[in-house]
């Protein structure tokens, strides 16, 4: 168990500071604003123009450039959405103040930093949560339910294809998302999702071999193509292919082959969380559609808000009860260890 906030357990609003004026302002903050009893009291970022505009749009009363600028206000928790290389410093300041922490993936830009903050948070008993969004979708939860129920028999093979062209690659942007040393690149930024949801669906990975590469003329210091194969504790074997610079294709498909059937998660749209799910069973002539989704991207809000809000809600519940949240820093550290085992192809 963690340390429940004294003010929150008395029924007062959970006073939250958001760190990050990008994803933090257009996904994290709106996700927390959906939760009753949460008061976002500050938006913290050194990017003043973007931060101040976002705070005004979201109705957040206080802005700050750094954590120390918030020393004069009472906080019950922090939510962090900054580049991975910046996250550990903010996490450590939150641990110093014994504040529960909602963080992004990957946990850090390197394994040593991830281990340091995960161990510190655990020793301090600080409640942590990490924003791994895919298992919060209806299609993923139904997939896990069917796997657990034995709908396809013993799981044997797991295949993942995630091929697309990221915004930064479309626009040839040089920033943290395309720089290894900042925690970017296809494996860290996108592959962390794959590694987390594969264990969430299929159980622990016993061993894995992961290789990364980029074309010779790629001018940014990161990988664009990742291939991995693994063996799960259950005995099933898996393989994934990830490309974040694939012009002309938008495919995210997870296929789970069992002894008696196959489950297929598909998303071929611009909406990253709009998955369909089908089930084909041995002896049945056609696949059964379990989850049918609209492939059109949301036109009213970022579709990631609704799924992120589910983790945020569990995080707030944990602050009030002192219970552990999943996914937590422990889960994110396991993913970071798998990332660190990858090797770069020449």
- Among the candidates 131, 163, 180, a domain finishes at 131
Q: What is the pLDDT of residue 5?
A: 55
Residue 24 gets which letter from DSSP? Answer: I
| Per-residue pLDDT band at 296 (split at 50, 70, 90) | low
In a domain, 315, yes or no: no
Percent helix, strand, coil in the chain, to 5, is 35, 25, 40
| Per-residue pLDDT band at 294 (split at 50, 70, 90) | low
Q: What is the pLDDT of residue 20?
A: 98
φ and ψ at residue 88, rounded to 5 degrees: -55, -40
Q: What is the pLDDT of residue 309?
A: 98
Residues 146 and 265 occupy one common structural domain: yes
Q: What is the pLDDT of residue 345?
A: 81
Residues 166 and 201 occupy one common structural domain: yes
Query: Reduced to 3 states, what is the DSSP secondary structure of residue 94?
Result: helix
In a domain, 67, yes or no: yes
Query: pLDDT tens digits for 254-270?
Result: 999 999 999 999 999 98
Query: pLDDT tens digits for 137-177?
Result: 999 999 999 999 999 999 999 999 999 999 999 999 999 99
Q: What is the pLDDT of residue 339?
A: 96
Q: What is the pLDDT of residue 52?
A: 98
In a domain, 276, yes or no: yes
| Per-residue pLDDT band at 216 (split at 50, 70, 90) | very high
Range of the domain at 110: 6-131
Query: pLDDT tens digits for 14-25?
Result: 999 999 999 999
Cβ(301)–Cβ(30) below 8 Å:
yes
Measured over the CA atoms of residue 89, residue 90, residue 91 and residue 94, the dihedral's sign is positive
Query: Reduced to 3 states, what is the DSSP secondary structure of residue 132?
Result: coil
Q: What is the pLDDT of residue 299?
A: 62
| Per-residue pLDDT band at 293 (split at 50, 70, 90) | confident
| Per-residue pLDDT band at 196 (split at 50, 70, 90) | very high
The share of the chain scoring above pLDDT 90, in percent, equals 92
Residues 177 and 91 occupy one common structural domain: no
CATH number of domain containing 126? 3.40.50.720
The share of the chain scoring above pLDDT 70, in percent, equals 95
Span 57-77, average pLDDT: 97
Q: What is the pLDDT of residue 10?
A: 60
CATH number of domain containing 157? 3.30.360.10
Say whether pLDDT at 74 is over 60: yes
- Among the candidates 68, 100, 131, a domain finishes at 131
Span 121-129, average pLDDT: 98
The DSSP string of 43-55 is EE-S-HHHHHHHH
128 HSE (CA, 13 A, CB side): 28
d(CA 332, CA 127): 14
Residues 90 and 181 occupy one common structural domain: no
- What does the mean pLDDT of the chain come to? 95
Say whether pLDDT at 2 is over 60: no
The DSSP string of 246-287 is -TT--EEEEEEEESSEEEEEEE-SS-TT--EEEEEETT-SS-
- Among the candidates 131, 166, 200, a domain finishes at 131
Q: What is the pLDDT of residue 298?
A: 56
In a domain, 159, yes or no: yes
Q: What is the pLDDT of residue 192?
A: 98
Query: pLDDT tens digits for 83-103?
Result: 999 999 999 999 999 999 999
In a domain, 309, yes or no: no
């Amino acid at each position: 168990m963690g340390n429940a906030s004294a003010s929150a357990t008395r029924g007062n609003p959970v006073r939250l500071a958001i760190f990050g004026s990008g994803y933090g302002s257009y996904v994290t903050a709106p996700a927390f604003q959906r939760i009753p009893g949460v008061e976002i009291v500050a938006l913290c970022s050194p990017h003043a123009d973007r931060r101040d505009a976002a705070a005004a749009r979201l109705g957040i009363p206080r802005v700050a450039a750094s954590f120390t600028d918030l020393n004069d206000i009472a906080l019950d928790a922090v939510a962090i959405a900054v580049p991975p290389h910046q996250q550990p410093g903010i996490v450590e300041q939150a641990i110093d103040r014994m504040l529960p922490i909602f963080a992004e993936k990957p946990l850090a830009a390197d394994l040593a930093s991830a281990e340091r903050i995960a161990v510190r948070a655990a020793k301090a008993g600080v409640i942590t949560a990490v924003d791994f969004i895919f298992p919060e979708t209806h299609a993923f939860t139904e997939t896990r339910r069917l796997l657990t129920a034995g709908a396809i028999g013993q799981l044997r093979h797991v295949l993942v294809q995630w091929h697309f062209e990221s915004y930064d690659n479309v626009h040839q942007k040089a920033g943290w998302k395309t720089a290894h040393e900042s925690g970017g690149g296809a494996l860290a930024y996108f592959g962390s999702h794959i590694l987390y949801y594969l264990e969430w669906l299929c159980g622990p990975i016993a061993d894995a071999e992961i290789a990364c590469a980029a074309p010779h003329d790629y001018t940014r210091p990161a990988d664009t193509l990742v291939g991995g194969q693994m063996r799960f504790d259950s005995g099933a074997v898996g393989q994934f292919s990830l490309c974040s610079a694939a012009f002309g294709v938008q495919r995210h498909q997870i296929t789970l082959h069992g002894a008696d059937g196959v489950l297929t998660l598909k998303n071929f749209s611009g909406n990253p969380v709009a998955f369909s799910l089908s089930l084909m069973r041995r002896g049945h002539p056609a696949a059964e559609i379990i989850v049918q989704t609209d492939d059109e991207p949301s036109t009213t809000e970022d579709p990631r808000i609704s799924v992120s809000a589910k983790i945020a809600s569990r995080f707030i519940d944990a602050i009030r009860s002192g219970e552990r949240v999943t996914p937590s820093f422990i889960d994110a550290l396991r993913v970071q260890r798998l990332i660190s085992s990858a090797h770069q192809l020449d």
